[in-house]
Amino acid sequence: MPAKKSTTSTNTTSSAVPSSRLGRLMRLGGMATGVAGNMLVAGAQQLAQGKRPKLGDLLLTPANALKITQQLSQMRGAAMKVGQLISMDAGDLLPPEIAAVLARLRSDAHAMPERQLRAVLTANWGAQWQQRFASFSFTPIAAASIGQVHRATTQDGRDLAIKIQYPGVRKSISSDVNNVASLLRLSGLLPKTLDIAPLLLLAKRQLREEADYEAEGAHLQRFAHLLADTPEFVVPTLHADFTTKNVLAMSFVAGVPVESLADAPQAERDRMLSLLVGLMFRELFEFGWMQTDPNFANYRYDTLSQRLILLDFGATRSFTATFAKTYKQLMRATLAPDRAAMAQAGLAIGYFDGLTLPKHQSAVLDLFEIALEPLKFEGAFDFGNTDMASRLREAGLALGLDRDFWHIPPIDALFLHRKLGGLFLLAARLKARVNVRQLALPYLLAST
C-alpha cells in the first residue's frame, strides 16, 4: 500500500536545490549581479540627493544583505553554512541591520520541491520505497543548510523523523565555501580586517562530517548509550534499516524550540541551561566526545516531562585526553588565579607559541580571564545581566586586528569555542542563571 500524501500546510518556501557545479556557480553569479544592481540604484539615489556616494556605503546595505541571504537560502549546503557561520561569528562586526538580515540564514532555508525529494528517496531506498510506509508527509517539519526533515509512519507502526540530504551537497563543499567567501570578500560585505580563514576551515570540516548521515547515526547511538543514565535528556532512536549516507531515520520526539522558553519561569530556564552546561563538561572531561554545532535548533524541550531533546549529531567531535587535561589545567590556573600556570596551559593547547610577544600572550590571558568569569563567580552567574560578551568582543577584536599577532588556535579549540559560545548565547537569550562553578568543580578537583 503506497504512502498517503500529507496535505498539512506550511510556510516553508520550496525551491529546487542546484546540484551541479555549474548550476551553483550560476546562482553565485546571479547573486553578484543582483548586488551590483542594488549598488547602481543606491548610487543613483544618493547622486539625485546631491550626495557623493562611497563604494563601501553602496555595498553595505540591507538590500544587498537580503539578496545574498535569499540566494544562499536557495543554494543550501556549504554555501548557506558559510553564511550562517559568518552571521554568528562576525555579526557584531557588521552594521546591525545587515547582521539581522544575515541572521535569517540560521533558520530560513528553502525546502526541496516534492519532485526532487522523491528523486532523492528513490535513489536511496529504491523505486518501491513508498510501499514501506503507511504515511509519509511531503511537507518538511524542518529545513536547514544540509537537509530537511520529514515525518513518516512505517507499515509496522514506527513514528519516524527522516532527515534527507539535499542533492549535490557533499560534492560542492569545498568549491561552495571558497566561492562564497571570495564573493563576500570581493563585494565588500565583510570588513577587510576580518580574518575568516578559521571559519572557512571550520565550515569545510563541519560540512564534510555533517554530510555523512551514516556517521551521524553512529554518533546518535553513541550519545544514547552515554546518556542512558541521565533521564533528563532524550536522544532519538536510530532506525538503521532506513538510514543511508544521504538519509537519516530516527524516532520522532515532540518538543518546542528552546529559545521559545524566554517567558518560562526563571527556575525552569535556569534548570535547562544548567543541564546543558553540565552536559558540556561531561562531553569534554568524561566522554571525550562533543556535539559542537551551536545552532539552537539542535535542542528542543518537552514541556510536560521537562526533558531536553538532543538532535543533530553531525558535528560531533572527539577530544583527546591530553587536550581535556590541558584545558582543565587552564581552568584551574584561571581560578587560582595563577598567570604563569595559565600561560603554560595556553602554550600547551596552542593559543600562542614560543615566538609570541609577551604583550600578546598577556592579551590572550586577559581573554581567558574574561571568558571564564562564570566559572570564577561564586553562586549562580546571571547571563542575562552581564557585559562579558561585549568585553570579550572588544578585546578579541583588538587582538585580531594587531597584525603582529597572527595566530590561529588549533582546530580542537575552535570547535570547543563554538560550543561554549553557543551555550553562552542561549543562556543570554533566556536570561538564565547558572552556577557554572558548582558544575565544573567535580572535574577540576579530580586528580586526573
252-279 confidence digits (pLDDT tens): 999 999 988 999 999 999 999 999 999 9
The whole-angstrom separation of Cα 117 and Cα 57 is: 41
- Is 293 part of the annotated catalytic residue set? yes
> What is the average pLDDT across 94-109?
49
C-beta separation of 162 from 247 below 8 A:
yes
The whole-angstrom separation of Cα 86 and Cα 84 is: 5
- Residue 206: pLDDT over 50: yes
- Helix 358-371 to helix 321-335 angle (10° resolution) is 90
Q: What is the DSSP string of 219-264?
A: HHHHHHHHTTT-TTEE-PPB-GGG--SSEEEEE----EEGGGGGGS
Cell numbers linked to 190: 565583510
> What is the average pLDDT across 337-342?
92
The whole-angstrom separation of Cα 62 and Cα 72 is: 15
Cell numbers linked to 406: 597572527
The pLDDT value recorded for residue 26 is 40
Burial status of residue 321 (CB atoms within 10 A of its CB: 0-12, 13-18, 19 or more): exposed
Q: Of residues 173 and 324, which shows the higher confidence score?
A: 324
Cα dist from 230 to 227, 297, 308, whole Å: 5, 21, 11
The whole-angstrom separation of Cα 329 and Cα 346 is: 9
The model's confidence at residue 137, banded by pLDDT at 50, 70 and 90, is very high
> What is the average pLDDT across 351-380?
88
> What is the average pLDDT across 340-354?
89
The whole-angstrom separation of Cα 195 and Cα 190 is: 10
The whole-angstrom separation of Cα 230 and Cα 279 is: 10
For 190-225, give one letter per residue: b (16+ CB within 10 A) or e.
beeebebeebbebbbbbbebbbbbebbbbbbbebbe
C-beta separation of 384 from 436 below 8 A:
no
The whole-angstrom separation of Cα 51 and Cα 57 is: 12
The pLDDT value recorded for residue 67 is 54
Please report, in angstroms and rounded to a whole number, the separation of the first and last CA atoms in the chain: 58
> What is the average pLDDT across 77-104?
47
Give the H or E element holding residue 128.
Answer: none
DSSP class of 131: G
Burial status of residue 288 (CB atoms within 10 A of its CB: 0-12, 13-18, 19 or more): middle
For 96-112, give one letter per residue: b (16+ CB within 10 A) or e.
eebbebbbbbbbbbbbb
C-beta separation of 78 from 207 below 8 A:
yes
- Mean pLDDT of all residues in the chain? 77
Q: Of residues 108 and 242, which shows the higher confidence score?
A: 242
User: Which of 180, 164, 178 lies closest to 80 in space, CA to CA?
Assistant: 180
Catalytic hit among 89, 293, 312, 412: 293
The model's confidence at residue 200, banded by pLDDT at 50, 70 and 90, is confident
C-beta separation of 153 from 159 below 8 A:
yes
